[in-house]
Amino acid sequence: MNLAMIFGLGPLELLIILAVIVILFLPALIPKFAKRLGETFGMVKHMAGKSVEEEPDEPPEEK
């Protein structure tokens, strides 16, 4: 006997409860997640631009 059956909940009821929780809490989490994702991509883009600018265009000529 598993825990869900003790409370009289089957797989369908658990799925419905999970869907309700996701519907209630996901809209609050999406803006935070999108902001964090944008900051991360901005940082990666900034670092990639820095490394390209630091490399010399032509190697120094030897005499």
In a domain, 61, yes or no: no
In a domain, 7, yes or no: no
Residue 61 has pLDDT above 80, yes or no: no
**Total structural domains in the chain?**
1
Quote the CA–CA distance of 15 and 20 in Å, as a whole number. Answer: 9
In a domain, 36, yes or no: yes
**Phi-psi map region of 8: left, alpha, beta (phi>0 left; psi -120 to 50 alpha):** left
Amino acid residing at 25:
F
At 13-54, the pLDDT tens digits run: 989 999 998 888 888 888 888 899 999 999 998 888 875 555
Binned at pLDDT 50, 70 and 90, residue 1 comes out as: low
**Domain around 33:** 20-51
